[in-house]
Structure 1
């Protein structure tokens, strides 16, 4: 029970006791008042009537006596009027049974003392008789009944006013405590906010100030921890001078990108400053470092390379490497030439006459990183021999490089729903499946293997069709979800990846809120990359908070790739995060990777969020990750993607079949 309710209850009980005591005293006083009135009237009537009866009693005029007694009795205030002669047994009496219009229980409870008086009728010094008067209690009971009812009604009214007024007053007085409770809940999820309203009471005001101070301290601590983890990541996987990937980071990036399920077409390039040693001897290390930093800054700010999946690395000396996912249309060489021209126009390149070579070639299908490096080295040697500062390898024919064909094909896929959904399980630390992540593949018209998202999604993004494809994936999942109600629904959560462009579109957010039911929200997790969350709008961030309150959950994918401190995640209602696979690969052989992953786990645990590892391929990796404290793993080592058979709208029955089938 809340403190407000406890105070309201206890104060209400106290007020009820006080008002009840007041009611009891008022009723006792009323009873005493009526008893005194009855007795006073009885005494007064007896005295007056005795004087009146004295002459008739002396004359033994019974008729006159009876007449006067009748007159008094008929007034209706008396229950008994009796005159008894002293010297005889004669008796003149009028009496009647009382009829009282009040409940019997009230009469028995109140028990009014009847007004009764005895007096002597005398003439001179002679006693003529005895006069007895008893008052009628009926009117007194009736008046007392009306007054008691009025007192009880007033008691109930005052009790209601006191209790309700006390409740309203306590709500107002204890409002800061409710805000403190909400602040504590937000702090538990690393939402560092302040209470801006200042309470009137000194004690609560001090408590609010202490909570605001605690919020600031926790925020600073969380940011410092996130910055420390990010710094460790940069020191391990980034070049200390240029802040791009180092040799280790580049090897892991290229290895992961060239995996079949991760691969997307693009072009790879090598940028080489040939006379770097001479420049170092002539100009000094500081000037050469400034030159290398200028090259890296130009690459990082190049508009065509502003994408979350672009890889930029410096592997030592004057060698820079690039990989950019690209649809590889006929104009992709123009984009490579633009990068070359921007580098050649750099002030330090021209000022110090640095000999810069850029060689590039398209990558249409996964290849081994060693093979790619070897081919680029050969191109570089050819470039030096031919003294060409830019050399692009021959573009092989590929059927998926025409923009118009891509647009027609993707729109047909949307119209015909010609995509397949695959689900990959996520296991917790007890080997139980707790989530199924949905993957999308495009069905080939010629019956070949479906294209993975890495192949066709860059074109979806370039043609601004991501919102339509996200809606299609959600509709297909909803069809599967509803169909499984009859066939045994998966008890865990479903994870759907949503593109950043879709989330930033108000029309998509409105469509999602209108078409996804509350029941579906409770079983759904939407997943965005860390890069996407770092670039969403403020309205999208507010929408994510609103949908989370309705039951939706948010997952962060590719944790460790945005280049931002993890502190920015505190602004989002993060339910879970997945560490990028490049930090997971062979973690049992790389202590620095393990140290960095441990730091990321602590960041998510501090935010009361789950932390998973993706891309797990070896049991040794699972063993290390389990020791580090991850909440679960996913990857080929524990479960491969499986094809989901989505029923047509008019069909029933959905089941899962193996990918290999």
Structure 2
């Protein structure tokens, strides 16, 4: 009997249900508490796993149907073979018994029947006389050993009965009935089942392995494309060299390469423009010397790292006399000639600046008075030569002041003016070196004050520079603020915070001081009902310390604050001195769930194209870049380029102290992430 469709469907459903059940159990083994349906988990899997599961299921479905149909065909064959066999047996045995039917009690009848029946292929043999009375009955038990019951249930083999008439002469003497034994059919069917299943599983295993290899070869380019996309997102415009052989994936790879190349070229072009604009912004247009803005940046950076050096302030006393005698163009020529000669001074570690009009400056890291005197004498000789050329012997005077780690920048300009006025009292083109008066405290006083601040917990923390995002002009929201530290001396006078931290670094107290400040900030934020993001300034020495990082990680966890509210800041100038250390710290901060920020950023300190390697989240622009924007033709373009590149690199740009309304409106229109006023 042919197995009906319902039976086939039932078997396939049972097998698939078991496979799917096993798959779900394996997927949910990692987290049994997640009650996500298997289909949802399937959609969340990687493409390779989805294809592997899908193709495996298809193979199993096809295999199951073919396997069931194959088993049914074998069953049908065994059924038919059994019917033919018992009919042949009944016919041949009937012919053999017919001569002995004359005597129904002849023992040879049973003997001959036993000889055939004992082979085991028959379930029952019956010999009946002509009246239907049973003469001999031989039977085997119904038990089928070694065959599972489910096989008998799903693939039944019906018993076949054959009948043969026995005759003596011309008269019918009786009837022989032979019934087949299905046990042997079941055994053959079971052996065939095991053999077929074994080879099918081997084929399935081989097919899965082959499928894994093919999928890996096919999907490997997708992994390369994913890595390329991540690189592009991180600002690394890589190109896939080995294009995939699959046509569709190859087309995607080519498109990605084209996009990466175009974006890379755009970034490179923007960087070139940015360098040019930045250089124009930092230089005097007439003499091409660095301007006063750059002088202020350089001197602050020098003081922050504890450099020793001198500043030579140069001022032309009476350019109006040159204008009167030789015309206005002569003044420009004089200033250009002076600047050109200034750049050719035969001294190392010297930077030249033009401030405004007739004011120039020279910064040098030389601390030896004899060297400084030699530089001043060269400038003096240069002024004498130019004086003869422009018929004005008393051209300029120079005031010279030294600086060191403990110097306070607020005292620099008054000291330079005072030294300049002293030089004017000496002689034509004279210079005057003023003793260092830029510090209000001795080094030992600084050390004592720093230790007192740490021990007495007297540092005051205020949250300043509150930056708002104005994407929704009606409802700007706070996106960042800065933790600013105030310290006072024994008399209650406010100390310059830059000098305070610089001196702490000189006495190896800056790491302890940074820990102290960070802890105070965390404690203050923990008391707030709805804390906003905060920038916490750190020194380069602290972020380079493994002990500080370990302490910082524990402090953030113990505070109970969300790490996403914390942005740890380092000045761009400090980070530029050791980019590897800053990069490692940025990676560490991201692992904590917090952010990193570059403070006082400008592209001349760290090029924009290097931002992609620093793993930073924020840059806060130097104040000079966001002041008097419209008055300088280079600033709008420079800020536009920085904003555009930062957007591509997914770095958020902040601007601080945009007090002028026009500057604020421009920055708001530019779409900066945060602006403080």
TM-score w.r.t. length of structure 2: 0.73
CA distance in 2 between partners of 1:88 and 1:461 (Å): 122
CA distance in 1 between partners of 2:613 and 2:88 (Å): 89
Q: Deviation digits for residues 337-358 of structure 1, max 9, x if unmatched?
A: 7455346458995996887743
Aligned residue number for residue 126 of structure 2:
82
Deviation at 1:495, TM superposition (A): 1.8
CA distance in 2 between partners of 1:537 and 1:393 (Å): 37
Instruction: Confirm or deny: 8 A CA contact 1:114 1:137 kept in the other structure.
Output: yes
Q: Deviation digits for residues 479-528 of structure 1, max 9, x if unmatched?
A: 556x45xx6462x4332222234444566556656765597644332222
Aligned residue number for residue 622 of structure 1:
664
**1:227 aligned residue (272, 297, 309):** 272
CA distance in 2 between partners of 1:5 and 1:156 (Å): 20
Instruction: Confirm or deny: 8 A CA contact 2:295 2:353 kept in the other structure.
Output: no
Aligned residue number for residue 229 of structure 2:
184
Output aligned runs, 1:318-467, within 5 Å. 319-321=359-361, 334=367, 338-339=371-372, 341-342=374-375, 344=377, 349=382, 357-360=397-400, 372=413, 376=416, 379-387=419-427, 389-393=430-434, 399-400=440-441, 402-414=442-454, 417-424=457-464, 425-429=466-470, 430-446=475-491, 448-467=492-511
1:162 aligns with 2:203: no
Instruction: Confirm or deny: 8 A CA contact 1:340 1:358 kept in the other structure.
Output: no
Instruction: Confirm or deny: 8 A CA contact 1:19 1:159 kept in the other structure.
Output: no
Unpaired segments of 5 or more residues in structure 2? 1-42, 301-306, 388-394
| Between 182-191 and 379-388, the greater mean CA deviation after superposition | 379-388
2:598 partner SS:
strand
Deviation at 1:386, TM superposition (A): 0.5
1:59 partner SS:
coil
1:451 partner SS:
coil
Q: Deviation digits for residues 297-333 of structure 1, max 9, x if unmatched?
A: 8799627x8xxxxxx6313666323689xxxxxxx99
Deviation at 1:174, TM superposition (A): 1.7
1:24 aligns with 2:68: yes
1:39 aligns with 2:80: no
Instruction: Confirm or deny: 8 A CA contact 2:309 2:363 kept in the other structure.
Output: yes
Change (3 A) 1:592 1:334: closer
Change (3 A) 1:342 1:235: same
Aligned residue number for residue 649 of structure 2:
607
CA distance in 2 between partners of 1:592 and 1:187 (Å): 29
CA distance in 1 between partners of 2:347 and 2:261 (Å): 34
Across the aligned residues of Structure 1 and Structure 2, the Cα RMSD in angstroms comes to 4.7
CA distance in 1 between partners of 2:347 and 2:537 (Å): 26
2:462 partner SS:
strand
Unpaired segments of 5 or more residues in structure 1? 258-263, 306-311, 325-331, 638-661
**1:497 aligned residue (537, 542, 545):** 537
Deviation at 1:58, TM superposition (A): 2.7
Q: Deviation digits for residues 106-137 of structure 1, max 9, x if unmatched?
A: 43421224343333334566543332211121
Aligned residue number for residue 7 of structure 2:
none
Instruction: Confirm or deny: 8 A CA contact 1:298 1:343 kept in the other structure.
Output: no
Q: Deviation digits for residues 463-487 of structure 1, max 9, x if unmatched?
A: 4543443333334445556x45xx6
TM-score w.r.t. length of structure 1: 0.75
Instruction: Confirm or deny: 8 A CA contact 1:527 1:557 kept in the other structure.
Output: yes
Change (3 A) 1:575 1:290: farther
**1:56 aligned residue (78, 88, 100):** 100
Deviation at 1:594, TM superposition (A): 4.0
Instruction: Confirm or deny: 8 A CA contact 1:440 1:452 kept in the other structure.
Output: no
2:173 partner SS:
strand
Q: Deviation digits for residues 38-58 of structure 1, max 9, x if unmatched?
A: 235423432442233223213
Q: Deviation digits for residues 210-268 of structure 1, max 9, x if unmatched?
A: 64454343223112213313422332442246654436x479979x98xxxxxx99986
CA distance in 1 between partners of 2:508 and 2:287 (Å): 33
2:237 partner SS:
coil
CA distance in 2 between partners of 1:156 and 1:431 (Å): 65
Deviation at 1:378, TM superposition (A): 6.5
